[in-house]
Amino acid sequence: MKLFFGEINNGKAIINDDEQQHIVKVLRMKDGEEIHVTDGKGNVASGKLVIEGKKASLEVSEIKTNTLDFNPKLHIAIAPTKNIDRIEFFVEKAVEMGISEITILQTEKTERKNISIDKLRKQAIAASKQSLRFHFPVVNDLIKLPDFLKNINPEKTFVAHCNENLERMELKNIPHLDNITFLIGPEGDFSDKEIHLLAEKGIKAVSLGNQRLRTETAGVFVVSWNYLNLK
């Protein structure tokens, strides 16, 4: 399947401008090739490619709406790594394995204060197309931990931290939930103050095993665990 991103409205599909350039200049596709266009909201249009100069469009033959999405839905709030390549790696792999939402957290020990959310969103779109997803994940703006905690449901929220002196449950003991949120801390982990704040909010701590994992590895670990539970 050759999948591209665009808009789908009133029985028509409009291919995104950047995608059109990629089709014409990079892929050098030809008139009549079968392609598919998704809006990332669960809709996908199929049909024949039409090339007119530097423009590419779709002659629609079929539109499917409300395609199935991943269940359970996983939201990971993760602190950015100092080496931005690592958080970009996490985003790519998390999207491929069905994550529904990603939030970039600013914590007390977060070293990287600036991050291009637009770039991460573009990577999420690219990974979605590569893995043939019709529901693209949401990538939220950078937010401070206390602000993020104002809008969470503690019954469906968990945190992975490395403080062995505090009680932590095993992943396998998390009950089945349709929606789940996981918090992953920065290099150096959450501060003691933040860990106690999370506990006060009723957020349960989870152990990811005996090894100490890097931030992006912990994120991929949780996504992999969720992937095995997908319906």
Residues of the chain with pLDDT under 70: 165, 231
Please check whether residues 137 and 163 belong to one and the same domain: yes
pLDDT digits (tens, 9 = 90+) for 15-47: 999 999 999 999 999 999 999 999 999 999 999
**Could you tell me if 15 and 58 are in contact, meaning their C-beta atoms sit under 8 angstroms apart?**
yes
How many domains in the chain?
2
Q: How far apart are the first and last CA of the chain?
A: 22
- The predicted structure's pLDDT at residue 223: 96
Please check whether residues 130 and 147 belong to one and the same domain: yes
∠ Cα 196 200 204 (to 5°): 85
Please check whether residues 95 and 185 belong to one and the same domain: yes
Element (H, E) at 222: helix 215-228
- What CATH code is carried by the domain that includes residue 161? 3.40.1280.10
Please check whether residues 130 and 220 belong to one and the same domain: yes
Domain ranges, residue 128: 73-228
Please check whether residues 42 and 108 belong to one and the same domain: no
Beta strands 143-144; 101-106: pairing state:
parallel
pTM of the model: 0.92
- The predicted structure's pLDDT at residue 99: 97
Q: Which of 64, 92, 111 is the last residue of a domain?
A: 64
Q: Which of 42, 37, 41, 30 is nearest to 62 (CA)?
A: 37
